[in-house]
Chains A and B, each alone.
Chain A
Amino acid sequence: MNRDSIYTPLENTLDQHVVILDDDPVILKFIVHHLDAAGYRCSAYENGCQMLEAVQELHPTLFLLDMMMDDLTGIEICRQIKTHEPIKDIPVIFITSVTGTHDKLNAFDAGAVDYITKPLNVSELLARVNAHVKLYATQQALDQYVHHLEKLAQQRAEQLIHADRLATIGTISTGLAHEVTNPATFISGNIQTFKKFWDVVEPFFSQADTDDTTKQFILREMPMLICGMQDGIARIMGIVDNLKHFAARSSGKQTVCAVGDCIEHVLSFCAKLLKQIEVKKRIPAGPLYIVADQLKIEQVLTTLIVNAAQAMEHVDNPKLTVSVSSVEGRCRIIIADNGPGVAPEHRGHIFEPFFTTKPLGKGIGLGLSIARSIVNEHDGSLRLCSATGGCFELVLPIHRVREETV
């Protein structure tokens, strides 16, 4: 027999601690000799009570128990192990010269996972120890994974609740936008009428026979007030328009649309978010057309721009660059920021659903995965393309016919 063949190395056996109990010191020495050679850490005991006292500190991965002992029987010790919470899952193998079926059944009934009979066959002993240690390690890894999945499921449930709330807000927004439009239109019309009235009244008022400071103040301030009200209502109408546009359900219909318009629309929608950010646009003079579901493509651009803006929250002189170019018959849109970029360990996961590095409530980790699926639907590609800063490349097919006919 080749000596190496019986010591088939198991990964990280040094992390594995085998506790052996046998009242025969000779057999203990023999087993320890072989397990030690196979790379296991071993603790040997001749007395069951002593072993049970020490076991708390040992953190074993496997027990090898003799069946017939002077103090407690192996069966009794096994039962105690199996009722003690921190160690109850650790596998127990009996090593004994008791070979009766009844004894074997008793051992398994007490919680043993295996039963090896003496005289020992070393290869068999090592093979069984290896198998059970591996099984236990796998079981522990599975338990940890289940625990991780349970935590993840709980997290996802919270995120879904959040997503549901966002969806509800989206629905409410549509109604709200509609409700705001009516009074806003009314106010806008009245401001125009008021301005006309003031244009008529103002000359009479200025020629009036009074020369007090209040009149002067009214004459100076009134045009500015009217102008301010017009600006204000125009902004309200603009926000409402954007909100209606964004919250509108996609028709699913693809039409010819200009990439520049999509970008302008999204930048306008995100204007408030980009207030403190220097935005550079590199858009070619001639329009580039794509055939797309415009709302969906705008949703993709919004995701990329919002992510970029959020990534630059703590950056001095934040800069966002939106570049559009035509490369080999495809429209290439680059959205880059000078934020910290995507951490290397996250780069492979950012397009996975529910992957997010944002705190709870700031994002649910669906934006990029949805964005990529939308882009794929359009026969395009979306990828992260920089090692430093955030830079995403969105590529979509150019609509040539339209380009020629427009």
Chain B
Amino acid sequence: MDQEEKQRILLELGNISESFYDELLCEMIARIDAKILQLETCLKNDDYEAISAIAHYIKGAASNLRIISCADIAHEIEVAVSRLSKSGSTVRIRRAIQSLKTEIELIRGAY
């Protein structure tokens, strides 16, 4: 995220300060870290309903801070779960969870 993009987000979030945004982002990343672990556990247990709820949470949390990349991946997980009954394959879900982990690492690295 370049500086210009960040300034746009700060403005969109009600002109909050950069330090306050970073504080919120840090907390959000920590929460998503925990949620990714829950996603992996649920996937092992075939608890797709819980996966959908967790993905929904991540989508909301990320989009509130305008981390659209994360929100999109979380939405992908939701869609993959909803289509599971047709395809029967969990590959898309696994891939999306992996992408989410990578994206979070990228964001963590940037801050």
Contact = CB atoms under 8 A, between A and B. Distances in A.
A127 to B, nearest CB: 12
B60 to A, nearest CB: 4
Nearest to A66: B60
B15 A6 contact: yes
Interface string A23-43: 111110110011000000000
Interface stretch (B61-69, B85-93, B97-105): B61-69
Interface residues of B, number: 21
Contacts of B31: 24-26
Nearest to A7: B14
B63 A97 contact: yes
A24 B65 contact: no
Given A118-B64, A119-B64, A6 B27 contact: no
Contacts of B16: 30, 33
B20 interface: yes
Contact of B63 (A23, A30, A118): A118
B85 to A, nearest CB: 20
For chain B, what secondary structure do more than half of its interface residues adopt (helix, strand, loop), or is it mixed?
A: helix
7 contacts: A3-B14, A6-B14, A118-B60, A118-B64, A120-B64, A121-B12, A123-B14
A33 B10 CA distance: 13
A23 B61 CA distance: 10
Given A1-B11, A68-B56, A121-B12, 13 more contacts: A6-B15, A24-B57, A24-B60, A24-B61, A25-B27, A26-B28, A29-B24, A30-B64, A33-B20, A34-B14, A68-B53, A118-B63, A119-B64
A119 B63 contact: yes
Interface in A29-84: 29-30, 33-34, 68
Contacts of A122: 13-14
B81 to A, nearest CB: 15
A31 to B, nearest CB: 10
Contacts of B60: 24, 27, 97, 118-119
Interface string A7-35: 00000000000000001111101100110
Contacts of A29: 24, 27
Given A26-B31, A27-B61, A123-B14, A97 B56 contact: yes
A119 B24 CA distance: 14
Contact of B65 (A1, A6, A26): A26
Contacts of B61: 24, 26-27
Given A6-B15, A119-B66, A30 B56 contact: no
A25 B27 CA distance: 8
Nearest to A120: B64
